[in-house]
Structure 1
C-alpha cells in the first residue's frame, strides 16, 4: 500500500506540473514545492530521465593521454571513461566482475584497471587480464570477462554517456544549440580547474538558479550583481533538449570579451555571454574568453553532487597573462558559488514550509518555464 500511495503522490505532482506547463508563459508559475521534496517524484526522475537521457561527465581535453580516466555515476550505475592506447574514448561499467567492488575513483591515469578488493585487473578496453589464483578454479575462463560497455559520445569537447541504447545521438539532440553557439568554437576551450562539491538542496533548485539571471542583482549584490543589468538579458523560448539566455555587455574581466587574436567572433559576439542549460543536468556559462560549468547529480531529494570546472578559450590559453586572469576569475567564481549556495539552500528550506506556494515567474525566468515543461514531458505515466 505504501508503494501505491507513493506512486499516486508522484503522479499527482506530475499532473500538477503538466497543468502548469499548459499555462501560457505570461501566466506561468514556479513548480509545486513537492517536486523538490518528494522521494517518489525523484524516483520517477531516476526511472524516466536519468536512466535514459544523455548526461555530461566532463571535458574530453582532460583525458589527453592513454590511460587517462574519469569516473562518474548514472543513477546507481558507476561508470568510467578511459582514453585507450589508440587514443579513443570509451565508457564502461566501473564495477568489478568478481565481487562487484567499484574499481576506480575520481580522475587519474592507469596502465590497467585494478580492482582494489582482490586485484582482478582489466585492460583499458575492459577485458580481464589478470585474476590472482583463479587459474586453480576449473570453471573459471578469463576470456569470458569483459566490463560492459556504455554508450559514450562527444559534443563540442564534452563527454556524454547514457544507459539507453536507443537514445538518439547527442549531436542530433543538440544540433540547434550547435548552430546557436558556433561562433564561439567551444570545442577548443581547455579546462584549467575542476572541483567536486555536495550542497544541501534539491538538484532542480540549483539547476533553476543557473537558468535565470533575474537573481543576479540581489543574491550577488556583493560580487557580480552591481555589473548585472536586467535589461541586457535576453531569454528566448527553449528547445526540447536545452534552454539558453544571452547577456551582451562589456565584461568586468579581460577574459570575458574576445581576445584580440580571436578571429572567430565578430560584432556583438565578441562581448556576448551565453548561459546554456542542457537537460537534464549540464549547465554552462560560455563567454568569448572563458567558460565554467556545473554537472549535477541528485543524492536524494535533499543533496546534490556538483562537478564544477572551467577554463579558457585557445587564444587566452596562449596568452602570457592567462594564468593571472584565471586566478582572478576563479576567486570571483568561488565567491559567486558561495552566494549561490546560500541562496539555493535557503530555497530548499523554504519549499518545505506548510504555507509555501509557487508564484508567477518573471519575464527573465523563461528558461525555468521551459525546464518544467521538459520534466513534465519526460516523466511517463506509471
Structure 2
C-alpha cells in the first residue's frame, strides 16, 4: 500500500498579513489583504481591540431632544442605552437588566422610567434601580447595588461618542487636531434633519475606505456628484494619528455645498471646500459650509455592515426662508449618492470572494486608505 503525504495548507494570519502590507512606504503601497475583510477570526479581533477600545458614534446629540428621550445601540456586541436623564444630561448605560439579564429597551423613544419587559424591574433615568417586585424575601438582594452600569458618554462637538474603555483619553484629546483643521465651520452649530439605519451586504471596512477616497467619485457617482469633482484639484495630505481627511473644491452645480450667500465670514476657496473626515474607527463625516452628512458603522459579521446614516444643515441654510426646499434637495441628493455607494461597495465584497481576488496598488488619491490600514494594524497588534 502506497503511503501518501498529507497536504498541509498554510494557515493565514490576517493580522500578520496586514502588518506586512503596511510596512512598505506609501509610494509602494497596496490595498489590505482579502483575509482582513473575510476572516471571522479577524473580525473578533476588531470587536475586542478596535471597537471596544475606541470612541464610537451613536449619532447627533440634538436627536435626543428632552428628558427621557432615548436610543439604543451596541458596541462590540454590548447592548447600550443612550438617553437624556430627568435634568436633560446626556447619559449612557447598560441595556441589560440586573435580574435575569433581559435587554430592556429597543429602538428609540421617550420614557419616564426604564422597565424590564421580563419581570418589571424598573430603573430611573440615571440608571439606579427604582423598583423590584417580590424581592423582599431574598436576603442577598441589595437595591442600592443593582443599578445599571454606566457607559462613558461624551457630547463632542454635537456628536454622541461612546466607549467601553474606562482609560481611553477624551475625544477632544484623541482628535486634538480637529479644531485647527476644520474648527472654523463650527460643526456643533449644525442641526440634524434626518437619521436612518441601513444594513448593506459588504464588510464595514470596504464602506469606510470607500468614504475615505474620492478616486471613485467620477465613475461610481457619475449620476450625482461625480461631475462636480475634479481629481486634479483634489488634495490628499497626510492625516493624523486617529483620523484622516481630504478635501474637494465643489463647483457651483451643488449650491448646498457652498457658503450661503449671506455668509460674509468665509472667503475664497473656503466658501466651496468640502471636507471628508474619517474619525477612526467608524465615523465618516462630510462637512461643507452648507450641510453635513455622516455614516457611523458597525460590523455585522464579515459580510454585512450596520449603518447609521444622517445629515443636516448649517445655521445659515436652516434660517433661510427656503429651508424646506433646501432639506428636500439635500436628502434627495444624499439618498442617490448612498444608493450608488451601496452598489459599488457590495460589488467589491462580491469580488473578494473570488479565488483570483488580490489587492492592487494604491493610487496617490488613496493615501487615507493606507493610513487607516496602518492604524488598524496597530490596534489589532496592541492586544
Post-superposition Cα deviations, 1:248-278, rounded to whole Å, max 9, x if no partner, equal: 1234233211123335433221110000100
What is the TM-score with the length of structure 2 in the denominator? 0.94
Cα distance in structure 1, aligned partners of 2:207 and 2:341: 8
Matches within 5 A, 1:1-382: 9=12, 12-380=13-381
Shift of 1:17: 1.4
Q: CA deviation at 1:281?
A: 0.5
Q: Secondary structure at the match of 2:317?
A: helix
8 Å contact kept, 2:54–2:281: yes
**Cα drift, residue 311 of structure 1:** 0.4
- 1:139 Cα deviation after fit: 4.0
Whether contact under 8 Å (2:249, 2:273) holds in the other structure is: yes
Measured on the aligned residues, the alpha-carbon RMSD in Å equals 1.6
Query: Quick one: distance in 2 between partners of 1:180 and 1:272?
Result: 12
Is residue 82–residue 93 contact of structure 2 (8 Å, CA) maintained in 1? Answer: yes
Instruction: Give 3-state SS (helix, strand or coil) of 2:178's partner.
Output: helix
3-state SS in 2 of match to 1:78: strand
Q: CA deviation at 1:349?
A: 0.9
For 1:136 and 1:58, locate their aligned partners in 2 and report how far apart those are by CA, in whole Å: 43
More deviation, 281-290/101-110: 101-110
| 1:296-317 deviation per Cα after TM superposition (whole angstroms, max 9, x unaligned) | 0001101110000000111111
Larger radius of gyration: 2
Q: Which runs of 5+ in 1 are unaligned?
A: none
Report deviation, 1:381: 6.0
Task: Assess if the C-alpha contact under 8 Å between 1:199 and 1:304 holds in 2.
Answer: yes
CA distance in 2, matches of 1:324, 1:253: 14
Q: Distance in 2 between matches of 1:140 and 1:303?
A: 42
- Cα-to-partner distance string for 1:153-200 (whole Å, 9 max, x where unaligned): 121111111111111111101110222011110011100000001101
Provide the TM-score with structure 1 as the length reference: 0.94
Partner SS state of residue 50, structure 2: helix
Q: Supply the distance in 2 between the matched residues of 1:94 and 1:260 (Cα, whole angstroms).
A: 46
| Farther-moved stretch of structure 1 (364-373 vs 333-342) | 333-342
